[in-house]
Amino acid sequence: MKKIALFCLCSLASMSILAGCSGSADGNVNLGTVTLSEYKGVKINVAAPEVTDEEVDAKIQTALKQNPDLVEVDRAAQDGDTVNIDYTGKKDGETFDGGTARDQDLKLGSGTMIDGFESGLVGAKKGDTKTLDLTFPEDYKEQSLAGKEVVFEVKVNSVKEQQDAQLNDDFVKKVSNDEYQTVDEYKASIRESLLEQKQATAEQQMEEDALQNVVDSSQFKLSRNGLSVRYNQMVKQYTDQAKTYGMTFTQMAQANGMSEPSFKEYIYATVKEAAKRELTVEAIAAKEGLDQLTDEDRGLFAQDNGMSKDTLVSMYGQENADEYVLQDKVMRYLAENADNEAENPAAVSERVLETTEAASEESSEAAQTEAASEESSEAAQTTEVSSQAE
């Protein structure tokens, strides 16, 4: 049985400290109280990211393997070659829909065409015409062709073989859609991309380590009732999740290498830890005034997660979205104020909210509407004053 990932447990691995996952838990449950330890200047040890030449070269080698050159050859087609063909298919002497194509590239052995089509072209050369007597499968999706005998007339326009791509300017232009023109530009773009990925990972590690440091050194009085509510919600969520896989809760536990009791203990432990983290975040947010969320906060969080602010809200709802944004804001605050003891310490990068042209137009329209509203209001007030004077 395929092992099912233990996702949505709000565990430390997922760095989620919110009220359940996918908005399934009640965020208003009383979880207890926290007496915060010192949360500014907590010790962390995360080194600044670096990208080596070997990592850049490895990325390039992968790109070369994924984008081999197709070179025309003057020989008979072999399995794995790509042939360019024109073909016409006939059933009972008449052409049928979808059975004709021109200037079509086909990789022999790809299984793209029905049985016998590709193998029937092995051995053909450029300029050859082949007649293929074939039969469509009984379960073919087009009922009018299922199980029917057909004849394909195929002309081979060219035969090409895959050859290892060479790193040169032409390759760079091809794989980047002309975004980069030279090998040096391409290498620089890969290095920058890898560095951005590593920086994001380093920042996540800084945030996680700083928060966990505060949680571990703070004092909690957790509500048994609140934990019980969250625990029951998570058990129900996993039970429902198991049903979507045609499994029972017990089978899901076994699929993840646990007995049902140990699985429940694991869920309770993660719920308890998540409660501590949630209380910690809320307490720090209240003390530092970070709980006053702005549209910029929401926009930055959405942007970092590859979506728009509206998409974030539509996916998770306003309340859950704001919980995610608050968590992000507090954890970033902790990382910015942490004492990074690494020899070459990583730093939290500055975030800039990118605005699209459409968003700028919306903002402009909103400003114009607001100005027009104010003008209307002022005009109404003037009219009212004039009326009173009369």
How many CA atoms within 13 Å lie on the side-chain side of 370?
6
pLDDT at 22: 37
pTM above 0.75, yes or no: no
Q: If you ran DSSP here, which 8-state letter would residue 345 be given?
A: B
Indicate the residue type of 296: E
pLDDT at 356: 56
CB atoms within 10 A of CB 262: 12
Tell me the per-residue pLDDT of 37-63, one tens digit each, with 9 for 90 and over: 999 999 999 999 999 999 999 999 999
Tell me the per-residue pLDDT of 62-85, one tens digit each, with 9 for 90 and over: 999 999 999 999 999 999 999 999
Query: Helix or strand or coil: residue 234?
Result: helix
pLDDT at 377: 46
Q: What is the mean pLDDT of residues 326-346?
A: 96
CA dist., res. 106 & res. 385, Å (int): 81
CB atoms within 10 A of CB 374: 10
From 11-25, 216-230, 257-271, 279-293, the region with the lowest mean pLDDT: 11-25
Tell me the per-residue pLDDT of 191-241, one tens digit each, with 9 for 90 and over: 999 999 999 999 999 999 999 999 999 999 999 999 999 999 999 999 999
Tell me the per-residue pLDDT of 96-125, one tens digit each, with 9 for 90 and over: 999 999 999 999 999 999 999 999 999 999
pLDDT at 376 over 60: no
Q: How confident is the model at residue 26 (pLDDT cuts 50, 70, 90)?
A: low
